[in-house]
Amino acid sequence: MPASAPIRQDVARSASRSTGIGILGATGYAGVELVRLLSAHPGARVLALGSRQDAGAPFSRVWPSLPAVQRVLEDETTAPEAWAERGVEILFSALPHGALADRAGAWLGTGIRVVDLSADHRPGRAEREKGSGRPAVYGLTEWCGTDLDRATLVANPGCYATAILLALLPAARSGWIRSEPIIVNALSGVSGAGRAATLTTHFVERIGSAAPYRVGEEHAHLAEIAATLGHVAGTTPAVIMNPHLVPMARGILATLAVPLARRLELEEVRAVYSACYADAPFVRLLDEATLPETRWVCGSNRCDLALRLAGGGHLLLVFAALDNLMKGAAGQAVQNFNRMMGLPETTGLPLTGWSSG
């Protein structure tokens, strides 16, 4: 065997500065993407990994796809002070909804800034739901302005909410939306249901099957969509959302039918969306002949959008595709991290998808 250079996935790490990172919920589907992205991120040093179920095992034994990550998983109920002392400056939590809420204050009290991928700190939660009550920046990156710069607690948006809001906000802010309900149909890969083994996520129950669930006004993401529409666009149109599980591992495809207050031309609509996302590296407006496909975004941090008019110009159709584990979870969390740290927004984040897979 010839000699070979040592493995160095992350070249040219800035000698001057990289941020200490801790990750809770590191072995779930969003967690492993955080580990993958941040381990190769030139502005990050992953210092600690926590897991509910796999504490004590090396990460690479749980996820052999990442052979270089041999750090031993710690108990997720670790004391924040211990991680702070070891240099953790930013905590990413991919724990299930409700698991971090009680402890968020303890983490923040150490000076560690927190990016919470669960629903616990997102806007619009009902009173009865668990949440820490602490104010958080809602990290829909493209619409955050400078709020992220000094944020100490970021609520990372839901995967459906990200797709739907990126599709809807330019129209909402333009005052185009009529008071009739917006109809959203959305398709999700099974990783959106999490890594817990249930009958719903059993291979045999999902392969070959399309299945709607929590339809109409039932889905929890509607609350953060409504709150954000109100906050950003000053309008809260009714939204009907019909999510469906389809037999693929990842990807979200949202199809929106938006009743318009006046007749529009496609050119005008495209101009507004183009201007709106002109500086957004991860939002792509497809050309007029192209509709998005989830395989074009999976593996990337992009959200692809397409626009069509129907009903004689009185109905706007918007199609949005993203990878629920990337732009819909871990990717957007890293995008938020980049902004929190003053790094270029695209640092360590792929623009390119897998093409086939």
Nearest distance in Å: CB 326, its own copies: 10
Name the maximum alpha-carbon separation found in the chain: 71
Integer Cα distance of 332 and 346 in angstroms? 10
Does 159 qualify as catalytic in the annotation? Answer: yes
Amino acid identity, position 247: P
By CB under 8 A, tell whether 45 contacts its own copies. Answer: no
Q: Binding to its own copies (CB under 8 A): which residues in 267-286?
A: 276-281, 284, 286
Nearest distance in Å: CB 84, its own copies: 28
- Return the residue of 113, 122, 221, 250 that touches its own copies, per CB under 8 A: 250
By CB under 8 A, tell whether 2 contacts its own copies. Answer: yes
57's tokens: 């095992």
Nearer to its own copies, 83 or 319 (CB): 319
**DSSP code, position 190:** G
Q: Which of 346, 329, 351 is nearest to 162 (CA)?
A: 329
Whether the Cβ atoms of residue 277 and residue 142 lie closer than 8 Å to each other: yes
Integer Cα distance of 23 and 353 in angstroms? 24
- Return the residue of 227, 244, 270, 272 that touches its own copies, per CB under 8 A: 244
- Return the residue of 67, 87, 98, 133 that touches its own copies, per CB under 8 A: 67
Amino acid identity, position 126: A
By CB under 8 A, tell whether 57 contacts its own copies. Answer: no
Q: Binding to its own copies (CB under 8 A): which residues in 291-310?
A: 291-300, 302, 304, 308-310
Would the CA dihedral through 241, 158, 123, 270 be positive or negative? negative
Angle, to 10 degrees, between the axis of helix 221-228 and the axis of helix 159-173? 30
- Return the residue of 126, 128, 150, 197 that touches its own copies, per CB under 8 A: 197
In the numeric block, the tokens 């469906």 are attached to 244
By CB under 8 A, tell whether 247 contacts its own copies. Answer: yes
Q: Binding to its own copies (CB under 8 A): which residues in 129-168?
A: 142-146
Nearest distance in Å: CB 306, its own copies: 8
Instruction: With CB under 8 A as the rule, give the number of residues binding its own copies.
Output: 116
By CB under 8 A, tell whether 173 contacts its own copies. Answer: no
Q: Binding to its own copies (CB under 8 A): which residues in 222-241?
A: 238, 240
Integer Cα distance of 169 and 191 in angstroms? 26
- Return the residue of 16, 204, 262, 267 that touches its own copies, per CB under 8 A: 204
By CB under 8 A, tell whether 242 contacts its own copies. Answer: yes
Q: Binding to its own copies (CB under 8 A): which residues in 97-136?
A: none
**DSSP code, position 325:** T
Whether the Cβ atoms of residue 341 and residue 43 lie closer than 8 Å to each other: yes
Amino acid identity, position 248: M
Establish how many alpha carbons lie within 13 A of residue 251's alpha carbon, considering only the half-sphere containing its beta carbon.
19
Q: Binding to its own copies (CB under 8 A): which residues in 174-193?
A: 180-181, 183, 185, 187, 189-191
**DSSP code, position 291:** -
From the candidates 144, 159, 276, 298, which is the catalytic residue? 159
Q: Which residues are catalytically annotated?
A: 159
